[in-house]
Structure 1
């Protein structure tokens, strides 16, 4: 009797597992269909040969990324492995996505990148783009070495790239950062004689540096703050651009994508460009300017540039600097901006005398709607600097 009960229990368990098996299995084709739907708003589509699931791993073969605006243009990606996959909210979540190394070539040029991966990929069940859960997201993305080769010589290399996207508390928005590290560029192969001479005199036959970016995006207000977008190169300097604006909401982004798709679908390029310009003009009305700045920290390039330009005119770099100090006020006077003229003249004098840093910033007392800026630019251009609170400083 006990033996019979055990047999029945085992048979029932087996039947339950058999019935549950198909329901629990991942649908690789469905995942790829939803991935394609999520990438299409950006003007791309994903195609593939097979999408096979094995446990929580989905292996996609023959994957290609196609540019919708240019039929026939595609990037062959090859076999892509999605690991730690689970269904989530009608969509899918993958702990890691691994790509094959990419190597493409065209005539005398080639490009290669290794160790491509994405971490924490969220594929929405419905790519409507109306909420944070309806857009394609990732937590990390990166690559290993990257190389551009021209005529058998590496003209550009980078050690690695890394991007991080972190959701803010209560899904209010995102914090993001990115790096392009270990950049090396070889400019010695420039063919134009004058450009080649300038590069050699300035000591720029090779560039060594990196790019960093950091910022945040608040979805409800559409506050997009780019705190840092910096290009930093040894023996040249560091150029950093910062920007803060509001109104860049999910709806704004969706409208922008729809305008771009409509323009791409129009076979008449002139009409498409005009329609896109009008759409952009309308969308700009929704944005508000909070602040912006451009700062350059010199690392010896300014003196080299003055010396080189001075030799071209038969004077020393110091003599050229003195000449520029006198020329700037004259040029600024033509713009009828007396307050800014004084700032610019003072900053240029200080920077050319002792090149350390030069900063142009715009920070109005209160946020300024873009229509106000455009109105000032059309009606009284000389008022724009005061509307935006523009300041120019040096060596601060």
Structure 2
């Protein structure tokens, strides 16, 4: 997902940053100049375009934009080309804060090549509405980094997306994101949906070397990805709630959720910068800043849509058992595994939940809801010789079919 996020962000929004590379500053609206500065600072790439027209009233059109970023080390090279970008309704909302009423991107192509990846992507049409762009100083503060690195647009959408790699083509029906918040602080609610990532049979066969998916009856895959984020600002810290889900149609879905408080703006800005550049987040580097982050809750949930009933007979046959015998053996195995946690209540709860799930597979969830929210530093202070106490402090629970 991180690679797709990189492609989509570059293709749909970075192309606007290519604008004034060959134009005089006086010919380009300040909002475009500001966006160019933000993207160039993040990508360290020089853009080019064939033509720029502006009516002087906040409407700009660009022809044949190209951004090329050479690969270095493990980072792949990226080339983005957009046939036309049209901006309309550019206004200045506040000092150094601009709004683009709508931006349209037509016929965007992306080429990514490096040691571990070689792929191309095509996005015929994409748009952004209510898009806020902030101008920052040459040495921006962490808050300025946060506001300039993020994409604060009320609505972003693309039509079909096609991604090809190693002779295989994966298609996406559409991508949509929404944001409702305060452009002055970045606080607000974000949502992202990537609808129907379709993997054809040839791609599934290539990925499924052991043939397990085929045995389960999944010769093609159709995946949906979604995320929701609620961000609030408290001085130099952020409070952050999120859910991220991946679901396979007629298979099942995984959902991860959590809420944390007191995330330093500087650390969050660094994470956003890494994501915008398509790089992994260096959590080791950020670890000292995270020590006072407060964890309120965390959970992982599986919702079944047919896969459990397909896996059980196949797993039983592989072990030389019938399905009924295998199902009967799972709860005792869970009990033996969890007894080492020295928390009888959790063990019983988990065994009961697994038993209910196996009898009627709907959902299975593991949650942590500490009675008193825990700082990250406190997790390292939990006594490994008393796992039962750690379970209680973290408020661990297991539920099924709820």
Same fold per superposition (TM over 0.5): yes
Matching of residue 211 in structure 1 with residue 225 in structure 2: yes
Structure 2: runs of 5+ lacking an equivalent: 1-24
Q: In the alignment, which of 293, 296, 301 is matched to residue 295 of structure 1?
A: 301
Q: In the alignment, which of 221, 224, 233 is matched to residue 240 of structure 2?
A: 224
Structure 1: runs of 5+ lacking an equivalent: 1-24, 265-272
- In the other structure, the counterpart of 1:123 is 133
- 3-state SS of the aligned residue for 2:244? strand
- In the other structure, the counterpart of 2:390 is 384
Q: In the alignment, which of 40, 64, 68 is matched to residue 67 of structure 2?
A: 64
> Counterparts of 1:384 and 1:41 in 2: how far apart (Å)?
44
Q: Is the 8 A contact 1:41 1:258 kept in 2?
A: no
- In the other structure, the counterpart of 2:11 is none
Question: Deviation at 1:224?
Answer: 0.7
> Counterparts of 2:179 and 2:248 in 1: how far apart (Å)?
26
User: Taking structure 1 as reference, are residues 217 and 258 closer, same or farther at Cα in structure 2, changes over 3 Å only?
Assistant: closer
> Counterparts of 1:117 and 1:358 in 2: how far apart (Å)?
38
> Counterparts of 2:97 and 2:42 in 1: how far apart (Å)?
19
- 3-state SS of the aligned residue for 2:372? coil
Question: Deviation at 1:192?
Answer: 6.3
> Counterparts of 2:126 and 2:341 in 1: how far apart (Å)?
50
After superposition, the CA RMSD in angstroms is 3.6
Q: Is the 8 A contact 1:245 1:287 kept in 2?
A: yes
> Counterparts of 2:347 and 2:172 in 1: how far apart (Å)?
41
- In the other structure, the counterpart of 2:18 is none
* Greater gyration radius: 1
> Counterparts of 1:165 and 1:294 in 2: how far apart (Å)?
25
- In the other structure, the counterpart of 1:242 is 257
Question: Deviation at 1:370?
Answer: 0.9
Please, what TM-score do these two structures have when normalized by structure 1? Answer: 0.77
Instruction: Tell me the alpha carbon deviations over residues 21-75 of structure 1, each in whole angstroms, 9 at most, x when there is no partner.
Output: xxxx974175444213323565565623465423322234434164796688232
User: Taking structure 1 as reference, are residues 354 and 256 closer, same or farther at Cα in structure 2, changes over 3 Å only?
Assistant: closer
> Counterparts of 2:341 and 2:366 in 1: how far apart (Å)?
17
Q: In the alignment, which of 148, 165, 184 is matched to residue 179 of structure 2?
A: 165
- 3-state SS of the aligned residue for 2:315? helix
Matching of residue 53 in structure 1 with residue 68 in structure 2: no
User: Taking structure 1 as reference, are residues 208 and 145 closer, same or farther at Cα in structure 2, changes over 3 Å only?
Assistant: same
Question: Deviation at 1:190?
Answer: 4.4
Instruction: Tell me the alpha carbon deviations over residues 69-116 of structure 1, each in whole angstroms, 9 at most, x when there is no partner.
Output: 668823223343222223442343211222232345679964322212
Question: Deviation at 1:253?
Answer: 2.1
- More relative contact order in 1 or in 2 (CA 8 Å, sep 6+)? 2
> Counterparts of 2:40 and 2:388 in 1: how far apart (Å)?
43
Q: Is the 8 A contact 1:34 1:125 kept in 2?
A: yes
Q: Is the 8 A contact 2:342 2:387 kept in 1?
A: no
> Counterparts of 1:65 and 1:120 in 2: how far apart (Å)?
27
User: Taking structure 1 as reference, are residues 119 and 257 closer, same or farther at Cα in structure 2, changes over 3 Å only?
Assistant: closer
Q: In the alignment, which of 327, 331, 334 is matched to residue 328 of structure 1?
A: 334
> Counterparts of 1:152 and 1:192 in 2: how far apart (Å)?
11
User: Taking structure 1 as reference, are residues 44 and 286 closer, same or farther at Cα in structure 2, changes over 3 Å only?
Assistant: farther
Bigger Cα displacement from structure 2, 352-361 vs 88-97: 88-97
- In the other structure, the counterpart of 2:5 is none
